[in-house]
Structure 1
Amino acid sequence: MSEGGGSRGAEEKDIRKAGDSDPGCHQDREYCGSHSVGEGACWEQRTLGPGQQRWHLRPLGSQRVDEKTGLASVLDVNLLGLIEVTLSMLPLVRKARGRVVNVSSILGRVSLGGSGGYCISKYGIEAFSDSLRRELRYFGVKVAIIEPGFFLTGMASSARLCSNIQMLWDQTSSEIREIYGEKYLASYLKNLNELDQRCNKDLSVVTDCMEHALTACHPRTRYSAGWDAKLFFTPLSYLPTFLVDALLYWTSPKPDKAL
């Protein structure tokens, strides 16, 4: 977590040791609320020396969209968790003139139907990161956004997504199931099953962007990771809204009760 020279590896090893030996240190893999954020900030202050630069890299949260409860769950992890962690570390980052690297998504540029809270959270990350970058520029802090396209990960595997969609379908009201119909569900699940073939399997495309954002003298503001992000979604985001709506309308599954 520091941008040193040859001593970087030793410093990181010492940091890991300090964290392992500290009985009050619990590095949760998932955002669990304000208490865990505060503990993380205290741990960083204890383990990192004053001459080290800080940077913060937020991974993607989990996706679960159902009604209001599901939306709130996604926003808590993907957006509010990211904001709270970033703000808690901000005094250290500002003091060290460090960097903030937030992982958003190409779906923070183009919102797809059926993605609900996920797209909302990614648009929120984009807006928060833009505001943060403009505010912290006066203090020498650089803020970058990683916008990955579709990559094959354990979280985005077609089997997991299909299972989640089927579970939500079984839990939804009979009225909603009647409006959308079994044909819509079958078409939606078919598209999800093809994700494994469509998604990029080379995650180094994303990690290379992260590395550049953290180590380059002049990092970019935004990194589009993957050919689908570069050649389809990013250009799509600049088209007039009515064209984007028409394209997505004609290429998406239609509910049974659609007009």
Structure 2
Amino acid sequence: MGWGTAPAHPIPSPGLWGLVNNAGIAIPTAPNEWLTKEDFVKVLNVNLVGLVEVTLSLLPLVRRARGRVVNVASVMGRVSCFGGGYCISKYGVEAFSDSLRRELRPFGVQVSIIEPGGFQTAIIDPAPLVEGFARLWERLPAEAQAAYGRHYVDKYAKTTTLLHRLSSSRLSHVTDAMTHALLYRCPRSRYAAGWDARLIFLPLSYCPAWLSDTILGLLLPIPASGVP
């Protein structure tokens, strides 16, 4: 796996050795102005609140076993690239996991965060993303449609399709990180998984805001009434 530490070989004990939280949805995704509170809540309930609920329900068992908690966030929990609840939820997963790691360290429990980039799974399938985006466009007031312009939808569709093609198909990058976090003696606090996470988004997260805004702005459509 490339991290170079020996397996922990945990001694069996009453409780639960490992918990992996990996559930997530991304739709609806759109400019924040296009969305309602309910659109945000739909994603947050699955990606963040559900993760917290499952973790809290099993935490006594993990603590008893001095085990491991592995929370799958996203590199979008470092750089917020688009509107909607997804990036917000992943920032929340990062914050929850950081506080949990510090609280549980005295009990011998290890908490790790996995930050995948783009992988060719259903969560970034272009078809439902573009269809959902178009539906949100159709429900916008006429004033908002005029402000953004129909080309905004078309550019979004092209960008989504391109990013899916550039995404990795090797899911082993993520599962290897899970294995290391669960079984090895010295798990890492964070694992970046995927070429784009390591080479693009993590470095971007350390850039000044003006620079990251400029770079990410190259991928975003320009609204009809926006500044060119």
What is the match of residue 21 of structure 2? Answer: 58
What is the match of residue 96 of structure 1? Answer: 65
- The reply to whether residue 149 of structure 1 matches residue 117 of structure 2 is yes
Q: Which structure carries more relative contact order (alpha carbon 8 Å, separation 6+)?
A: 2
What is the match of residue 135 of structure 2? Answer: 167
Name the CA shift for 1:196/1:249 in 2 (closer, same or farther; >3 Å). closer
How many matched pairs? Answer: 213
Q: After the TM superposition, which residues 149-228 of structure 1 pair with which residues of structure 2 at under 5 Å, given as runs?
A: 149-228=117-196
Gaps in structure 2 of 5+ consecutive residues: 1-8, 29-34
Bigger Cα displacement from structure 2, 81-90 vs 192-201: 192-201
Q: After the TM superposition, which residues 71-82 of structure 1 pair with which residues of structure 2 at under 5 Å, given as runs?
A: 71-82=40-51
Alpha-carbon offset, residue 178 of structure 1: 1.4
1:134-193: per-residue Cα shift (whole Å, max 9, x none)? 110000000000000000112211112111111222222222211111111111111112
Structure 2 residue identity aligned to 1:144: S
TM-score by length of 1: 0.78
1:74-107: per-residue Cα shift (whole Å, max 9, x none)? 1111001101110111111111101100000000
Bigger Cα displacement from structure 2, 64-73 vs 98-107: 64-73
In 2, the alpha carbon distance for the partners of 1:59 and 1:121 equals 13
In 1, the alpha carbon distance for the partners of 2:60 and 2:164 equals 42
Bigger Cα displacement from structure 2, 103-112 vs 83-92: 83-92
Q: Identify the match of residue 235 of structure 1 among 180, 203, 207.
A: 203
The percentage of counterpart residues that share the same residue type is: 50
Q: Of the two, which has the highest radius of gyration? A: 1
- SS across alignment from 1:111: coil
The CA RMSD over aligned residues, in Å, is: 1.7
Gaps in structure 1 of 5+ consecutive residues: 6-48
CA contact 1:158–1:192 (8 Å) conserved in 2: yes
In 1, the alpha carbon distance for the partners of 2:198 and 2:64 equals 35
Post-superposition, which runs of at least 4 consecutive aligned residues in structure 1 deviate over 3 A? Answer: 49-53
